[in-house]
Structure 1
Amino acid sequence: MSCEITNGFIEYFSCQIGTTVPALKLLLTIFAGYPLALIHRKYVYGKEANLQHLYFIFTGFALGYWNYGNEMFHNVLATFFTFCVLSVLQGTATSVAITFVFNLTYLLIGYIYSSTDGYDINWTLPQCILVLRLIAISFDLYDGKQPEETLSAENKKVALKELPSILELYGHSLFPTSFLVGPQFSMRRYLDFVEGKFSKDGAAPDSTNAAVKRFCIGAFYLSIFHVLGYFVSDEYLLSEEFASLGFFRRMLVMGVWGRFTLYKYISCWLLTEGACMLFGMSHNGTDETTGEIKWNGVENIKLAVFENTTEFNHYIQSFNVNTNHWVAQYIYKRLKFLNNRHVSQLAALLFLAVWHGFHSGYYVCFFFEFIVIYMERDIKSIVGKNETLSSIFYSEQAKIPLQIALRLYTFVFMGWCLIPFGLLQFGRYWRGFSNCSWVGAILFCLWPVAWSPLLRMALKKLNGAGRRSDSKTEAQTQ
């Protein structure tokens, strides 16, 4: 297809760089956060609160309207309905239930009417971010009405004693550097920012250097993502060419494809985080050692942990941090009354899958997350209870080889777990699994029914043989 400039600059440029118009608009919107932050720092920061709310509402809605047109009014309607519910019911359990059900149902109906066979960049993208924000506010307002001694330390930080005004609610919902792809942050953080609690003497915080560094890292990851796309695209993973590669080479390519898939999200989060830093929203106190301000308050990707994973739990700790924290705080921990960690975790993962949409790939992906974490916990339990294995795994001689093996394991099999998430449709990810020789299914799905029982049986026989050998040696000595 030829790229004609007569079709419009955005269409022409997106054709030139090999992307879609919605994706390019999204990227330009993320970049727009930086000049908007500079304008806010110079002309709006420290001014009357309602003026700041209006600035965020106007700029955020304008960016959203440029991307999605009149469909941005879905965002407006959902926020207004939530405000009405909370105004009438004032932080009760009923208000939490209605807010939760309405906003999630509204989003799911949106998926039904607007989703396609692939990954969609449409009005449901900011809507899914909004759903978490509005549900969190209803929970925070509910917590604010509870006796303080009954709340966890985390809930105390974000609890709301009073219902935010409608301008506060819209300002938080449409904050221009976070309403499209995140990061998530609490209403309490937003209000503290507007009230100037993150600055000294009313001046805009000195966050420019931190923002520039984050922007450069984001641009670096975006360039890596773009380059990798020429070698390990989704279509390549499904191709006969990939399927004909040798087993170990396919495993390596699968791992690289997994990184390619994740870098799409990581680059966007790094760029939006840099813009949040420039606004001053990401202020997170002062480092006790250096005395410098920490700007990781809305950090959504912990790069040092992510790039050095040795277990899948490290991915959970480092990737999409704010959403994972949201799910832990408002879903997982709220199910504590079930007294079953596995059931709570499964419910949290099911919520995440539903929140993403109806594509079966989401549900398969989060199923693998559940079963992988189960396997790793089981292995840790087996090793911890066996003195021989513990002495081997935790010895100095095994430290470096084990680190290499575990990093290779997480690198390769994260690619496997992402196949359904990246390919979405059953036929596509089924072919992807087949092209990768079903290694993940063999390892993870058979673990609880085959590999774990066999390993425990082998260790039991080994321990029994060892005890008999010790007894025989002792008898001979006597």
Structure 2
Amino acid sequence: MASSAGLEEMSFLQWFANLVGAPEPALRLLISILIGYPLVLIHRYTLYCKSPSLQHLYFIVCGVSIALFNYGQNIVHSAICVTVEWLLLLVMGGTIKSVIFSFLFNMTYLLVGYYMTGTDTYDIKWSMPHCVLTLRLIALTYDVYDGTKDPEKLSGDQQKTALSFTPTLVEIAAHTYFPASFMVGPQFSMRRYLDFVKGSLVGCELPPCLVPGLLRGGLGLLYLVIYQVGIGYIPDEFINSAEYFELPLWQRHLVVGVWAKITLYKYISCWLISEGVCIMSGLSYSGKDANGNCLWNGCANVKIGLYEGATTFGHMIASFNTNTNAWVAQYVYKRLRFLNNRYISQAAALIFLAVWHGFHTGYYACFFMEFVVMNFEKDLAHYISQYPRLLSLLNAGPLKYIKYVVLKMYVVIFMGYCLGPFVLLKLHKWWQFYYSLYFSGHIFFAGWPLYGSAVKALIKAIGGERVRVEKGKTD
């Protein structure tokens, strides 16, 4: 009977997935994220501020059930890494050796998982949530290590996450399998989780977080609908199709920009829905504003207003996947300060992100473009900032609106250019993609050192009096 029920479940899910035009693994993922809402409501009205041990067990059971629903016996991989992490901290404690071992072990396990499960497309397999787990476990080791240092020597971020003790196996497992974040994030520190369970994050009075959580989740569902409709008009396959290649070059650039905008909504929808669950649980609490209203952005992974209004790639990076970017900044970029070279630290952080995503060459091509684009923007913005008259001219009258339209088109079109390899993954696909656009982005951004002096000379000619500004002020 159990086997028959399983077959019926599979056939129903497959039927429903076909009905909505989504792969079955993607449907399971969506169900797993949405199930977080009733799960945190049950916790809110039965376990909130009760025994921490009972709360840990509840979150473990919920998260493990979600993992089994999606990946069956492959849950063993996350269980192995959680156990190894606990044993590592138990034996080595908060030492630099434990940090190095945790980093190497978890990244190696993840990469082996990518190798075992990878195909020519983006795969929703056990290795997908395992990338979330990898960052979480590495951060835990760092936090225990930071807890052994003098608090006054820690940065502000480190002071917020440092742990002066080694968490138990149950605490690590509950933090790992927390149902609101196990599948797609967001990342949050062990210290935030333990404060939440103890009731010291918000307080033991039930927080007013239901409506904010539902609104955030509802926004995520809206973005999911937009994605499903939009991708039906411009599917990934279209970008390398004969019909696409027949379009004029300017139309190809526009189509790629719109396609990328739609594609990113897939990620944004998942993050917003997951964030809504975190908000409803109370885990996202981040203090109060000047008017005494509760803030619920402690687990945010996207800043919608900034993202939709972005006119530079700097805006895009500051608004998109903010949780992961903050993790990389705290645990990779800032840890390389001893090198005393911002470019090396930036390159190392981007290489880490590419490796963390997997072996596909498209990831490395994408993050290479991020590196050259950001250095282009920072250098140009810094130079323009030294000419107040030019800035005033660009930000006044009709020019202000013209500038906004031009910059918006710039971001949309070239975001599509940069994102292409990330979606297409394989070398022959993204190379053909770039060939269709005549490598325009590479020429424009990577060629900046060759033509930048001419642009700066033009700015100097029309910019008026120059005011020296320190480089760090505009970075």
How do residues 41-440 of structure 1 correspond to structure 2 at under 5 angstroms? 41-200=44-203, 202-289=204-291, 291-386=292-387, 389-390=390-391, 392-440=393-441
Secondary structure at the residue paired with 1:294? coil
Distance 2:198 2:302 in 1: 27
Deviates most, 108-117 or 400-409: 400-409
**CA-CA distance at 1:394 after TM superposition:** 4.4
Unmatched tracts of structure 1, length 5 or more: 468-478
Distance 1:198 1:218 in 2: 25
Taking structure 1 as reference, are residues 459 and 47 closer, same or farther at Cα in structure 2, changes over 3 Å only? closer
Secondary structure at the residue paired with 2:167? coil
Once the two structures are superposed, residues 449-477 of structure 1 have per-residue CA deviations (whole angstroms, 9 ceiling, x without a partner) of x22133245567x48xx99xxxxxxxxxx
**CA-CA distance at 1:193 after TM superposition:** 0.5
**CA-CA distance at 1:39 after TM superposition:** 1.0
Q: Is the 8 A contact 1:237 1:435 kept in 2?
A: no
TM-score, normalised with respect to structure 2: 0.93
Q: Is the 8 A contact 1:254 1:436 kept in 2?
A: no
TM-score, normalised with respect to structure 1: 0.92
Distance 1:15 1:362 in 2: 29
Once the two structures are superposed, residues 298-344 of structure 1 have per-residue CA deviations (whole angstroms, 9 ceiling, x without a partner) of 01110000000111111111111110000000000000011111110
Distance 2:427 2:197 in 1: 46
Equivalent position of 2:18 in the other structure? 15
Once the two structures are superposed, residues 184-233 of structure 1 have per-residue CA deviations (whole angstroms, 9 ceiling, x without a partner) of 00001100100012344x33322110111111101100000000011111
Distance 2:349 2:20 in 1: 38
Distance 1:298 1:435 in 2: 39
Unmatched tracts of structure 2, length 5 or more: 1-6, 466-475
**CA-CA distance at 1:250 after TM superposition:** 2.2
User: Residue type of the partner of 2:448?
Assistant: W
Distance 2:198 2:315 in 1: 35
User: Residue type of the partner of 2:295?
Assistant: K
Secondary structure at the residue paired with 2:71? helix
Distance 1:192 1:101 in 2: 29
Q: Is the 8 A contact 1:243 1:436 kept in 2?
A: no
Q: Is the 8 A contact 2:161 2:189 kept in 1?
A: yes
Distance 1:353 1:88 in 2: 31
Taking structure 1 as reference, are residues 6 and 287 closer, same or farther at Cα in structure 2, changes over 3 Å only? closer
Larger Rg computed on CA atoms? 1
Distance 1:280 1:368 in 2: 38
Q: Is the 8 A contact 1:286 1:292 kept in 2?
A: yes
Q: Is the 8 A contact 1:198 1:283 kept in 2?
A: yes
Taking structure 1 as reference, are residues 389 and 199 closer, same or farther at Cα in structure 2, changes over 3 Å only? closer
Q: Is the 8 A contact 1:300 1:322 kept in 2?
A: yes
Distance 1:23 1:397 in 2: 46
Once the two structures are superposed, residues 45-98 of structure 1 have per-residue CA deviations (whole angstroms, 9 ceiling, x without a partner) of 121001000000111011001100111110010011011111111101111010
Distance 1:5 1:245 in 2: 46
Distance 2:138 2:459 in 1: 48
Which 4+ stretches in 1 moved above 6 angstroms? 4-7
Distance 2:388 2:52 in 1: 62
Secondary structure at the residue paired with 1:437? coil
Once the two structures are superposed, residues 377-435 of structure 1 have per-residue CA deviations (whole angstroms, 9 ceiling, x without a partner) of 11113323456644543445532211221111111111111000011011111121122
Q: In the alignment, does 2:455 pair up with 1:452?
A: no
User: How many residue pairs are counted as aligned between the two chains?
Assistant: 459
Q: Over the residues paired in the alignment, what is the CA RMSD in angstroms?
A: 1.9
